[in-house]
Amino acid sequence: MAIDEANVTRRGFIKGTAAAGAGLALFGAAGAMATSEEWLVPAHADSGEEYTAYTYHQSHCGGMCPLACTVRDGRMVSVQPNNCCDDRYETICVKGISEVQHIYGDHRVQTPLKRTGERGAGEFTPISWDEALDEVCDTLKELQAKHGKDCVVISSGAEANFPWLAATLGAQVDGSSGIDVGIGNGLDPAIGFGGGYAMATCEARDWVNSNLVLNVGSNFLESSLPNVRLFFEAKESGTRMVTVDPHFSTTAGKSDQWVPITPGTDAAFFLGMASVILDEQLYDEDFVLNHTSLPFLVDASTGKLLRDHAEDPAAEEPETGEQNPFFVWDAAAGAKAPHTDATVTPALEGTFTVDGTQCTTVFSLLKKKQASYTAEWAEGVSGVPADTIRELAREYAEGPACLALGWGGNDKMGNADIAGHAAATLVALTGNVGKVGAGVGVFVGGSYNGHAGALGAWELPEEMAAGTLEMPLYDAREGNAKVRACVFCGDVLQQHIGNMNKTADFARGLDFIVTIDPYFTEGAKWADIILPACTRFENDTEVGNVKVGYSNIVLQNKIIDPLFEARTDFWIGKEIAKRFGVDQYLPKTSDEWVAKVLSSSEDPYVSSLTIDKINEKQGVYPLEGIEEPRREFMDRVFATTSTRMDVYYDGLVAYDQALPTYEPPLEAHADSELAGKYPLQLANVRTRYRIHNQFNDAKWLQQFAEPRIELNPVEMETRGLATGDAVEVFNDRGSYQCRVKANESIRPGSARMFEGQTADYLIEGNVQNVTNDGYVERGAELMCGPVIPFSDTLVEIKKA
Ligand SMILES: Nc1nc2c(c(=O)[nH]1)N[C@H]1C(S)=C(S)[C@@H](COP(=O)(O)OP(=O)(O)OC[C@H]3O[C@@H](n4cnc5c(=O)[nH]c(N)nc54)[C@H](O)[C@@H]3O)O[C@H]1N2
Ligand SMILES: Nc1nc2c(c(=O)[nH]1)N[C@H]1C(S)=C(S)[C@@H](COP(=O)(O)OP(=O)(O)OC[C@H]3O[C@@H](n4cnc5c(=O)[nH]c(N)nc54)[C@H](O)[C@@H]3O)O[C@H]1N2
Ligand SMILES: [Mo]
């Protein structure tokens, strides 16, 4: 343990434990306790050792900021941007700076803990690592012997690092089912990119080359802090930045134009734009004919795309478009022709008889469908004036333009896939993809949006493999699932699923729950055993991890020794592997693992790198070719079956969603049955002061981002509320209490809350108590399964 006991003053010690409230029992052994209160006594500048070491910060804000950390007398005393090779990557925010305090925060789990009270009550007693690990492994083995290996489900947040825990246990893995897949479910099948997460087809660095950036449903200037500079560079170079958001967000405030929209109606807005583009013939005819499925023939009676032959559903690989072409209508020959025949000029519209079957084109079907989706109709649904829709449609069609979407806006509504599909239709009509200054998708995050590097992996023997996921955890709550035990690396239980009261019932029914986290979270309260993990800054060897972030390969070097009795994820994973008798297949140290991840890369540029070589550049090594922004599909060959933008989803004919058909959100809309009882929509958004539940106990940040619910003054007045009042937020699913704040930026009819706010930081209850966990019937047919519609939530608010 790295605590300088002499510097822990008696007074500081008492204050520290008092601040933690029930902290003695909660967070570990009193004797080992040292919180920031006593930690921040002056360090001796003249005596002791001082050094600077390099690591990267949290990834889940898209950050991974390269950091230079100064350590004095064994304590981390300052965190600054790493002045590494290229100043584009020298970023830091208040979250990074305040880690000096936060890593010593009073919600750190300091020792392994064993539950003493009811599940969820948060009562624990400290135990030793050996006791904790033995109990974890013995219990898991016992359950697996009875119910099969896959009765254990492992689930991690984004920051944890357990590359082989599931393989060690033969357990199922549930990543983050249903999260951030709303828009991507509708967009990505059209392009074959993004894996359902709507990853942008180019980087925000390309925005300087755009005529327009239409930012719909993202608060980029808070959710993408390392890239904020790119937004302003584009704006200053003359790119028009337009933000479509129900609320006057930070990003809306810095944009050239703010377009307020009714929550959950992005699809209507996009469909209105598409109609203008069709009516005014603003579409890019060359792109439409040669690079999209819009001229493809559809069987009018079944709605299925015409193909050469029926596919074998049992085949291991679906056939390519080359092997099993689609068809277009060759007007010159008066016959069908395979879409792959480059000599044919396809007919865009019409009805044709093909082999005795009535056929039409996707474009004709789109035109027919769009007839009712006029700009005036879209105004009626979305509240965006028809003239604004027309102007934006013309400007977008002119291009080059980027359609920047979000994970925090309409993505968090049940109807999100329709918005994604409508966005894909807009892109297909205008060709705003695969050329300089044009792209579509979510641009948030430096670490997700740069160039990707091909890191290698540690190979495991074949028999060491994870189980197959039976069903996502949100469905496992319905009962009848195999799962008997869960290992949560991070706060999955509370943070990853809507409707906490239902999740709590599920947690009560499980046989065993383990949480591995540096902090005592809401989800940890449900654990039987809590294992204290190290933060990014602590390690027991030289190097803890390697990642690609921000177009660079970055090392997580050790800054300080593990604090308290915390241990690294790597160490915990190894100790579990030892007890399961498979330790011999794993690297001995994280240094050995990192070296292997580099040397086993298929890319010779990456495999030639070593830890030393990267550390010569202060832990940050640029990938090749990163001077140019990443741009996908510049050859306009898409990663779809036809290699074109496939906008017609004939798998969804049964749901009338082969082309986007407008549907309102599940519950958060004006005609909702619940609207009378619960008139306010609860928008769950991110803030620059937090990463989800992370930094809740960062004292220096709490003063800027005290958890509160925000309402328009009009809504405050009708409820007789004043800023600072304690309120209850409730619906049929549950309730929570917090303070309320008036804010004119909030749209009347909605309330806004920063997500990740949990019971320990509110007056009572947890935001997740009220959030929606329902989904649409077609959910199972979508690319990533249904989205969890956290913001498709209606509530009422009253004085508590
Ligand atoms: N600082 C920080 N950065 C983060 C994170 C973090 O926790 N903290 N988390 C990361 C993660 S995991 C994610 S998913 C991303 C999310 O990043 P974003 O997609 O930018 O999500 P939010 O920041 O929640 O912003 C969503 C915006 O959409 C608006 N909105 C709400 N409903 C609608 C709607 O129906 N239509 C439209 N058009 N707009 C709507 C909200 O008012 C809000 O301004 O951020 C990442 N970056
Ligand atoms: N109501 C509501 N819920 C939401 C959302 C919403 O809008 N509304 N948004 C959703 C979205 S978009 C997302 S992406 C998810 C994000 O939810 P998470 O994936 O849970 O978010 P993270 O910030 O990655 O959480 C990381 C957790 O890991 C812990 N941790 C940090 N470092 C380490 C480490 O080194 N090792 C280990 N073992 N643990 C570590 C942190 O203390 C924290 O508990 O939340 C979702 N939940
Ligand atoms: Mo997310």
Give the DSSP per-residue string, 353-406: EETTEEEEEHHHHHHHHHTT--HHHHHHHH---HHHHHHHHHHHHHS-EEEEE-
Structure tokens at 534: 């190290």
Letter string b/e over residues 6-17, b meaning 16 or more CB atoms within 10 A of that residue's CB: ebbeeebbeebb
Residue 237 alpha carbon to ligand 3 centre in Å: 30
Cβ–ligand 1 distance for 389 under 6 Å, the answer no
**Residue 572 CA: which ligand 2 atom is closest?**
38
Cβ–ligand 1 distance for 691 under 6 Å, the answer yes
Cβ–ligand 2 distance for 197 under 6 Å, the answer no
- The conformational region for residue 584 under phi > 0 = left, psi -120 to 50 = alpha, else beta, is alpha
**Residue 265 CA: which ligand 1 atom is closest?**
35
Cβ within 8 Å of residue 11, ≥6 positions away: none
Let me know: does 595 contact 610? Beta carbons within 8 Å: yes
Which backbone phi and psi does 417 adopt, to 5 degrees? -60, -30
The pLDDT assigned to 42 comes to: 56
Cβ within 8 Å of residue 800, ≥6 positions away: 725, 726, 727, 728, 737, 763
Which CATH code for domain 181-310+317-449+639-655? 3.40.228.10
Residue 96 alpha carbon to ligand 2 centre in Å: 17
Residue 174 alpha carbon to ligand 2 centre in Å: 14
Which CATH code for domain 115-175+469-533+568-580? 3.40.50.740
Cβ–ligand 1 distance for 690 under 6 Å, the answer yes
Residue 519 alpha carbon to ligand 2 centre in Å: 12
Question: Strands 529-532 and 680-685: what pairing?
Answer: unpaired
Closest CA to 449 of 88, 162, 783: 88
Stated pTM of the model: 0.95
The pLDDT assigned to 38 comes to: 58
Name the CATH topology of 673-799: Barwin-like endoglucanases (2.40.40)
Rg (CA), the chain: 27
Residues of the chain with CATH 2.40.40.20: 673-799
Structure tokens at 325: 């072409």
Residues of the chain with CATH 3.40.228.10: 181-310+317-449+639-655
The pLDDT assigned to 51 comes to: 96
Residue 641 alpha carbon to ligand 1 centre in Å: 32
**Residue 692 CA: which ligand 1 atom is closest?**
7
Positions in the chain whose pLDDT score sits under 50: 1-33
